[in-house]
């Protein structure tokens, strides 16, 4: 799927949003409403204002080098506008809330197989299985603390660990893509030797 996303044949802006979805695993509405003024490529972070967050607190997304690369590709096209992902017809409004899901359907994935929101659960599951700090993962997902007493006292953001985690996550996704490409080459070689 990651390799199919990289080769997305549709609109370039949609392809960039699609490629960023597994890397950032923010809520789809947060991604599509991103503004260039919130993104600091030099600091490698995206600060989503509290007004756009479900929990109404500012959310910082550390940007892996792979995410920065995609944003740099996109900047010449939409960088003079307010929105990173403007709508195709009205550039003052974000792309449709169904754009990423429709792109996944175009790639052949049903809504039972993957949705734009599904990148969040995928990342959470795999990062937990890889042994990353549960609190850092939950903060990166912008989830509120469920324990009311703990929430009243724990304001930790885990930023250094989250930065490392996001880069490690992006590297892991690259490894999966490379492994899939290697399997295709191996399968093709085996098919040729069988002929």
Active-site residue list: 27, 54, 117, 120, 143, 153
Rg (CA), the chain: 18
Q: How far apart are CA 36 and CA 19, in angstroms?
A: 17
Question: DSSP states of 11-58 as a string?
Answer: -HHHHHHHHHHHHH---HHHHHT-BGGGEETTTTEEEE-GGGSTTSS-
Give residue 110's Cα distance to chain centre. 19
**54 closest CA partner among 112, 120, 122:** 120
Distance CA 181, CA 184 (A): 5
Span between the terminal Cα atoms of the chain, in Å: 29
- Altogether, the residues listed in the chain come to a count of 195
């Amino acid at each position: 799927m990651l390799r199919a996303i990289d080769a997305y044949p549709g609109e370039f802006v949609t392809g960039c949003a699609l490629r960023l979805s597994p890397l950032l695993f923010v809520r789809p509405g947060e991604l599509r409403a991103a503004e260039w003024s919130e993104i600091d490529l030099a600091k490698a972070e995206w600060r989503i204002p509290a007004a756009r967050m479900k929990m109404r607190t500012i959310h910082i997304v550390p940007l892996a080098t792979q995410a920065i690369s995609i944003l740099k590709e996109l900047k010449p096209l939409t960088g003079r506008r307010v929105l990173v992902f403007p709508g195709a017809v009205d550039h003052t409004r974000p792309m449709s809330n169904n754009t990423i899901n429709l792109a996944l359907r175009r790639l052949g994935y049903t809504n039972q197989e993957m949705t734009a929101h599904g990148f969040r659960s995928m990342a959470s599951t795999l990062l937990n299985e890889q042994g990353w700090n549960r609190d850092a993962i939950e903060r990166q997902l912008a989830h509120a603390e469920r324990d009311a007493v703990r929430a009243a006292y724990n304001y930790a953001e885990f930023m250094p660990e989250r930065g490392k985690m996001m880069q490690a996550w992006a590297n892991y996704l690259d490894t999966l893509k490379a492994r899939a490409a290697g399997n295709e080459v191996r399968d093709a070689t085996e098919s040729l030797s069988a002929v």
